[in-house]
Amino acid sequence: MGSKKKAEEDITPECEEHGNPPKKRKLYGPIDSLLLEVENQNMANLKYLFEQGLDLITPGNFPLGEQWRLVFIPALSDATISDQIIHILKKKYPKIKLVKKNEGTKNPDCLILPRDADTEQRIEVLELVGAACVCHGETEARYYGWSCWYKATNLREGSAILKKSLRPSFWEKIALKGYIEYQSLEDLKALFRQRERQWLTQSFFVIQRISKTCDCYPNIFAVYNLYELLLHEWEKRKLPRPRAFAASLHLFELIGQTEFLDQLVQNPAESFDVVHLTSVEFFNTLQNLLNSWNELKHDMTVLTFDNLMTSLVFSFVYQVKVHDFARIDQIKINDKMTIKSKADKLEEISELILVILKLLVSIPKSKTQSKKLKSLLAIYINIYELKRANQKPNLLLKVCTTHQGRPNEFKLIKLLLKAGADPNAVDQQRCSPLHLLANSELVMCTLWDCSYYATRSKNFAAIVSLILDGRFHKDQVNLRGQSALECLKPKLSLYPNAQLCQLVGNFLQQLQGVRPLSCIAAKVVRKHQLPCEGLPVTLQSMVLQH
């Protein structure tokens, strides 16, 4: 008795291994002790249900000898987990039932298997409940989950029922370091003393395998647990960037399916907004690469053209879905989490798209790949920027707003213009992309006479020529009444590029010449502040441009 009491008051090393501070609690240590403890708790739960009345379980008689039909689900961090489990299992086993915990009582949720349930059904129920407990339970619930796996594996080995493990996808293999699902009792015994993240990895394998047999994969339960396992706080955990990149691509594979993505975008609270969380973490994997070419080259094993294009396609589709289906206002889930508003999400997705595009113009590409990128970008501009978000800053305007004169920025601006981006888009100060680029050049006037500035001035002249030869409305002015290149006029003679000086000179000279009647009328309306609310939107926009 003395040794037993001492064991019960000992400190379990597994607590520290699973991320919890050591404390005095019952020692589950030896596996046999844990299994006995779980069986005793199951009997206590069953006894409690019988004491409260058989109707708590199911109408009619429920013999004690059929206790194998009950699988208890202890209290978990998310109260909806039981519903998610039953949703998966119902697809394959429609007769299975879920009895929810009664408020104010100590009984847990439980699943009730039908009397004709076979051994394989019992095994899969135990495995899925075990995975849920490992993912969403406190320490004791996680141990209970492990015991469910142990019992299921014991049944599987005793009945010679093979486990049909799945072949991982390319991205899944990289993200999960080639780990595979446990196969035997010996594997489980080895898992017992491993770190919590190894347990979580096994949970994902179980959820994935059973969900696929039930024809309901991907699902919220699997996708959110995969995000938590791989991407949540990946930088803090010092997960290698290529693995975080691979994890993001694998999640894009899963959530990119049309109907499932629609569901996640329209009901973000159900999945804790896992789609947007994934896109934010993917942005974090990419943003620092733009400032370090050496790191970029190091990660080229995953940062290939095809992989970046895959992420770009997903981001394009996701932005359209958010624009069409997401809720306008933010949603508070709990004290620690608030789902962002539609406007905030759209802005962050645009930032992600820009980072991907900047990387795509930075890496080597064949002519075929360059054409493919331009074609995809043209489709996006037509579907999203021109038809959905035409009143908001487009990608071209965003690039020009943060322009620092780097060669790859000029490449991206040129690509956007050739793909059909609107050069007449304006910001809150009514500045067009050309306004912003000209102001950026003027800010750098003290460096114009430096030898290295020749490359930047040449790139700038090429962009100005491309804009002026396109659909740019030369008469448009910002809120200060300045035309696009007017700010360069006082110091134009000092600019180190003759082509640019000629372009600006011709541009300013044209403004002094005879203008179309429509432009003259628009200037009069704006100058005298005549009412134009009743005019078509295109005419109102023209007035604002003058």
Single residue among 166, 184, 202 that ends a domain in this structure: 202
Residue 335 lies in a domain: no
In contact, 150 and 35? CB cutoff 8 Å: yes
Q: Is 264 helix (H, G, I), strand (E, B) or coil?
A: helix
Residue 255 lies in a domain: no
**Integer CA distances (angstroms), 86 to 93, 96, 132, in order:** 9, 8, 11
Residue 123 lies in a domain: yes
Bridge partner residues of 70 (DSSP):
112
Helix 258-266 and helix 274-287, axial crossing angle in degrees, nearest 10: 100
- Rounded to an integer, what distance in angstroms lies between the CA atom of residue 345 and that of residue 340? 6
Is a pLDDT exceeding 60 seen at residue 6? no
What is the model's pLDDT at position 12? 38
Single residue among 202, 217, 238 that ends a domain in this structure: 202
What is the model's pLDDT at position 11? 32
Q: How many domains does the chain have?
A: 2
Over residues 484-539, the pLDDT tens digits come to: 999 999 999 999 999 999 999 999 988 775 455 555 566 666 665 666 666 655 55
Single residue among 202, 232, 262 that ends a domain in this structure: 202
Is a pLDDT exceeding 70 seen at residue 467? yes
Over residues 221-277, the pLDDT tens digits come to: 999 999 999 999 999 999 988 889 999 999 999 998 778 999 999 999 988 999 999
Residue 363 lies in a domain: no
Q: Give the confidence band of 544 by pLDDT, cuts at 50, 70, 90.
A: low
Is a pLDDT exceeding 70 seen at residue 1? no
Is a pLDDT exceeding 60 seen at residue 3? no
Q: Give the confidence band of 356 by pLDDT, cuts at 50, 70, 90.
A: very high
Stretch (H or E) spanning 98: strand 97-99
Q: Is 374 helix (H, G, I), strand (E, B) or coil?
A: helix
**Integer CA distances (angstroms), 278 to 121, 248, 300, 470, 507, in order:** 33, 6, 21, 38, 46
- Rounded to an integer, what distance in angstroms lies between the CA atom of residue 178 and that of residue 246? 12
- Contacts with 210 (C-beta within 8 Å, 6 or more apart), sequence order: 88, 89, 124, 127, 128
Q: Which segments of 198-341 are extended strands (E)?
A: 331-334, 337-339
Neighbours of 425 (CB within 10 A): 20
What is the model's pLDDT at position 372? 98
Lowest mean pLDDT among 66-75, 139-148, 296-305, 339-348: 296-305
Residue 359 lies in a domain: no
Residue 471 lies in a domain: no
Bridge partner residues of 334 (DSSP):
337
Over residues 413-452, the pLDDT tens digits come to: 999 999 999 999 999 999 999 999 999 999 999 999 999 9
Q: Give the confidence band of 109 by pLDDT, cuts at 50, 70, 90.
A: confident
Residue 172 lies in a domain: yes
Residue 527 lies in a domain: yes
| Token pair listed for 287 | 């943003």
**Between 33 and 466, whose confidence is greater?**
466
Domain that includes residue 10, residue range: 2-202
